[in-house]
């Protein structure tokens, strides 16, 4: 604390005394400046001289020795001197001397003086000259007295300033002596500091020699660099690891000798250490031979301090190649075990999912039996009871009608069961896809033919593309199932006298089969158009029609299994349009002349 306090006090004293001395020197300079009162003696004296010269010029003009113009010039000079005394700082100084009122009184006689000067210029009369001299005499006297007063005031002021300057100079001299003493104290402290620094340097050299002995004998790889990244320590272990002798590295920038230290991650770690932050870098590859296997090292960097000042960084490098090899082998075994466990887990998850799907299938089947099968069973039961009670009384036509109703109800139940089971197999992932190249136009034409045979009297217009081959990669059985579903819905939910239109068209990457019919969709719920493809969803227009709401769900699911999709198109008003799209395969186009724009 004493080593810091003494020079600090000396510097403070040095600064205070120097400031004090400078302020007094500035004060002396300000006092010694020539101010307005110092010029008053000259101004008044010049005015007095001008009055005397005018008096002489008046006498010379009366004697005829000078011209009138010369008299006029001396008169104007006299007036200018008087005017100067009556303006600005000169006026204030004359007021301070007590002569301002007298000059004002004399100024009131200037008109008479001017008149007589004019008369003297014209005639050179001696009487006029005597009167002019009489008028000028008070000016000469008053100006002489004012000049004496100005001289006395100036001398008194100069004496006061000299006395004040003498006092200021003594104070400045004393301050300079204090500054000299402060400088002596600083020099003495500097000499003591140099002596202590030499002692510390000696101790530091001893510690450095001891540290170098410890570093050189250490089995770890130890490297030290200064702030410029120049190597200062390179022990024997580092020589062996990097295969580079210490003489080739010490005193040089590490990156210029070994490329390992120019790697971005290594360089950033050293920069962090030089900034005062420890850094760690694990599993960094070290290549001795570009074509050989690398060694792996862990690098830890720490800052080197001299007191609180950073002087460099120390690098501790550990060869972890063998540990890395062992860890890699352990990781391979662990990954293999994880793969086995994951595979087994997936098998168990798949089995569980199948079990859940089966349970869901049975639950859905039970729900469907209780809800959808009630009406067909009621029809069958009613028909059979009628036959039992009135079998002998019924005609053959009535028996056939009752039997036909029962068969239709049973057929409806069979279709419902098949649809439910198909949906269950689809959810359980038990549907197989056997894809091959197919002409979607031929498949669509065949489905249209089947639907026409099943629903005689309905008009179905089919249009095939005329510029591209509608070849797709699909499972024809599933595609026919999808198209049958879309056509059955179009027939079911449209008027009997309205046509159902089927068109196949090609794009760059897809082939689309568009099925449209007259009708209006309403009350689709919060899900919008996509809710049509939800399982068991039925809209308001489905009332009075058989079905359980899984046809569109299965159509979209089967299409997506084949890389395609089924979507509802936003088309014309009062028209419902569904589009089946499948991936297109480029192939030569086979003419389908018998399928273009025809009624099937």
User: What would the DSSP string read from start to end of 171-232?
Assistant: HHHHHHHHHHHHHHHHHHHHHHHHHHHHHHHHHHHHHHHHHHHHHHH-SSEEEEEETT-BEE
Residue 302 has pLDDT above 60, yes or no: yes
Q: Rounded to 10 degrees, what is the CA torsion of 360, 363, 365, 369? A: -160
pLDDT given at position 566 = 92
Which of 184-198, 278-292, 324-338, 393-407 is least confident? 393-407
CA 457 to mean position of chain CA atoms: 70
Looking at residue 581, what is its pLDDT? 93
State pLDDT tens for residues 16-41: 777 777 776 666 666 555 444 456 77
Chain mean pLDDT for the chain:
77
Handedness of CA 447, 450, 456, 462 (dihedral sign): positive
- pLDDT tens digits, 580-600: 999 988 755 443 334 333 333
Q: d(Cα 269, Cα 295) in Å, to the nearest integer?
A: 19
Return contacts of 444-447, CB within 8 angstroms, 24+ apart. 444/483, 444/502, 444/504, 444/513, 445/592, 445/595, 445/600, 446/480, 447/480, 447/483, 447/484, 447/487
CA–CA gap between residue 442 and residue 437 (Å, rounded): 12
CB 451 within 8 A of CB 491: yes
Q: 10 Å Cβ neighbour count for 574?
A: 9
Candidates 460, 513, 525, 504; CA nearest to 482 is: 513
Q: Please provide the distance, in angstroms rounded to a whole number, between the alpha carbons at the two ends of the chain.
A: 111
- The reported pLDDT for the residue numbered 215 is 60
Token digits of residue 91? 């006026």
Q: Taking residues 447-457, report their average pLDDT.
A: 80
The pLDDT tens digits for 532-575 are 777 666 655 555 555 566 778 888 888 888 889 998 887 677 78
Phi first, then psi: what are they for 429, rounded to 5°? 75, 25
Residue 580 · residue 484 · CB < 8 Å? no
Per DSSP bridges, beta strands 221-226 and 471-474 are unpaired
Please say if the pLDDT value at position 212 is more than 90: no
> What pLDDT was estimated at residue 549?
67
Tell me what the mean pLDDT of segment 314-340 comes to: 81
**Where do we find the tokens 């400088």?**
183
**Reported pTM:** 0.36
Under a CB-based contact definition with an 8 Å cutoff, are residues 545 and 492 in contact? yes
Split at pLDDT 50, 70, 90, the class of 502 is: very high
Smallest Cα–Cα separation from 562: which of 462, 483, 451, 465?
Answer: 483
Q: For position 593, what pLDDT does the model report?
A: 37
Strands in 221-226's sheet, in edge-to-edge order, are 231-234, 221-226, 309-319, 295-306, 279-286
Which pLDDT belongs to residue 526?
64
pLDDT reported for residue 348: 85
Q: 3-state secondary structure string, 272-292?
A: HHHCCCCEEEEEEEECCCCCC
Element (H, E) at 112: helix 110-123
Percentages of the chain per state (helix, strand, coil), in multiples of 5: 65, 15, 20
> What's the confidence (pLDDT) of residue 597?
37
pLDDT at 470 over 80: yes
Q: What is the pLDDT at residue 429?
A: 62
Instruction: List, for residues 385-432, the tens digit of each pLDDT value.
Output: 767 777 667 777 777 777 777 776 676 666 556 655 665 566 656 567
Q: How confident is the model at residue 100 (pLDDT cuts 50, 70, 90)?
A: confident
Contact 310, 227 (CB under 8 A): yes
Alpha-carbon span 488 to 491, nearest angstrom: 5
pLDDT (tens digit, 9 = 90+) per residue, 47-78?
878 888 888 888 787 777 888 888 888 888 88
For the residues 238-252, what does the mean pLDDT come to?
Answer: 84
Chain center to CA of 235: 46
pLDDT of residue 204: 73
At residue 183's C-alpha, the angle toward residues 177 and 189, to 5°, is 140
For the stretch 353-398, pLDDT in tens is 767 755 665 565 555 455 555 556 666 767 677 677 776 677 777 7
Q: Which residue has the tokens 């100036």?
A: 154
pLDDT-derived band at 217 (thresholds 50, 70, 90) equals: low
Query: Residue 208 pLDDT more than 60?
Result: yes
What is the distance, to the nearest Å, from the Cα of residue 222 to the centroid of all Cα atoms in its chain? Answer: 41
- Specify the 3-state DSSP secondary structure of 493: coil
């Amino acid at each position: 604390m004493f080593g810091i306090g003494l020079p600090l006090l000396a510097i403070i004293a040095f600064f205070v005394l120097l400031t004090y001395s400078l302020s007094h020197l500035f004060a002396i300079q300000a006092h010694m400046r020539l101010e307005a009162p110092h010029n008053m003696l000259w101004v008044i004296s010049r005015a007095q001289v001008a009055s005397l010269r005018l008096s002489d010029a008046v006498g010379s003009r009366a004697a005829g020795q000078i011209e009138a113009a010369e008299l006029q010039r001396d008169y104007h000079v006299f007036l200018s001197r008087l005017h100067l005394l009556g303006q600005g700082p000169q006026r204030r100084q004359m007021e301070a001397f007590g002569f301002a009122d007298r000059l004002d009184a004399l100024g009131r006689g200037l008109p008479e003086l001017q008149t007589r000067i004019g008369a003297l210029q014209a005639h050179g009369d001696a009487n006029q000259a005597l009167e002019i001299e009489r008028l000028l005499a008070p000016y000469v006297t008053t100006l002489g007295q004012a000049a004496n007063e100005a001289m006395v005031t100036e001398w008194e002021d100069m004496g006061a300033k000299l006395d004040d300057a003498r006092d200021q100079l003594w104070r400045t001299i004393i301050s300079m002596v204090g500054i000299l003493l402060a400088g002596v104290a600083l020099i003495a402290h500097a000499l003591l500091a140099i002596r202590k620094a030499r002692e510390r340097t000696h101790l530091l050299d001893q510690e450095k020699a001891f540290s170098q002995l410890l570093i050189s004998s250490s089995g770890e790889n130890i490297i030290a660099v200064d702030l410029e990244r120049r190597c200062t320590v390179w022990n024997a272990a580092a020589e062996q690891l990097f295969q580079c002798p210490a003489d080739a590295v010490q005193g040089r920038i590490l990156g210029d000798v070994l490329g390992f230290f120019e790697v971005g991650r290594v360089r950033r770690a050293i920069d962090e250490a030089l900034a005062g932050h420890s850094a760690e870098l694990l599993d960094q590859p070290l290549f001795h031979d570009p074509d050989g296997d690398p060694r792996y090292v862990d690098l830890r960097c720490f800052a080197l301090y001299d007191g609180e000042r950073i002087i460099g960084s120390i690098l501790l490098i550990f060869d972890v190649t063998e540990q890395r090899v062992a860890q890699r082998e352990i990781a391979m075994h662990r990954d293999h075990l994880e793969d086995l466990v994951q595979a087994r887990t997936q098998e168990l998850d798949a089995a569980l999912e199948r079990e859940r799907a089966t349970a869901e299938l049975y639950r859905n089947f039970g729900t469907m039996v209780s809800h959808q099968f009630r009406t067909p069973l009621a029809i069958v039961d009613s028909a059979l009871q009628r036959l039992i009670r009135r079998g002998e009384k019924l005609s053959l036509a009535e028996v056939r009608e009752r039997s036909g109703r029962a068969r239709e109800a049973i057929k409806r139940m069979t279709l419902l069961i098949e649809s439910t089971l198909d949906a269950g197999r689809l959810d359980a992932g038990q549907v197989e896809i056997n894809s091959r190249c197919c002409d979607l136009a031929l498949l669509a034409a065949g489905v249209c033919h089947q639907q026409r045979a099943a629903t005689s009297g309905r008009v179905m217009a089919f249009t095939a593309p005329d510029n591209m081959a509608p070849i797709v990669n699909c499972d024809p059985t599933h595609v026919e199932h999808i198209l049958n579903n879309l056509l059955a819905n179009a027939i079911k939910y449209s008027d009997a006298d309205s046509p159902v239109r089927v068109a196949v068209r090609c794009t760059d990457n897809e082939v689309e089969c568009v099925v449209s019919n007259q009708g209006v969709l309403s009350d689709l719920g919060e899900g919008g158009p996509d809710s049509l493809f939800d399982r068991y969803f039925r809209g308001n227009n489905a009332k009075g029609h058989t079905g359980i709401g899984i046809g569109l769900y299965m159509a979209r699911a089967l299409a997506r299994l084949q890389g395609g999709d089924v979507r509802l198109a936003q088309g014309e008003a009062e028209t419902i349009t569904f589009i089946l799209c499948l991936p297109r395969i480029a192939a030569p186009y086979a003419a389908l002349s018998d399928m273009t724009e025809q009624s099937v």
